[in-house]
Amino acid sequence: MTYDRLVCANCAAPVSEGRCPVCRASRQRLQQQEGIFGQLSPVALVALLIALVAVAVLLHQAV
């Protein structure tokens, strides 16, 4: 989950802005939880998956 769409229950502002201590703590926790693909959007992940499948099919046909 990305924090750019989350709204803080404490101050009702976007968590990505970090207006209050709760926002800043949540933003930091979410940033630490993100893995190697954490910065990619779901659309980018699907595009990457399609590209990998296409490469696998091409390699399979070449062999």
pLDDT in tens, 54-63: 999 999 998 7
Please give the structure tokens belonging to residue 22: 């709760």
Residues 25 and 15: their CA atoms lie apart, in Å, by 9
What is the pLDDT of the chain when averaged over all its residues? 83
Judged against a pLDDT cut of 80, whether residue 43 lies above it is answered with yes
Please give the structure tokens belonging to residue 45: 């992940």
Judged against a pLDDT cut of 90, whether residue 45 lies above it is answered with no
Domain boundaries, the chain: 3-62
CA distances (Å), origin 47, targets 39, 53, 60: 14, 10, 20
Predicted confidence at residue 37, as pLDDT, reads: 65
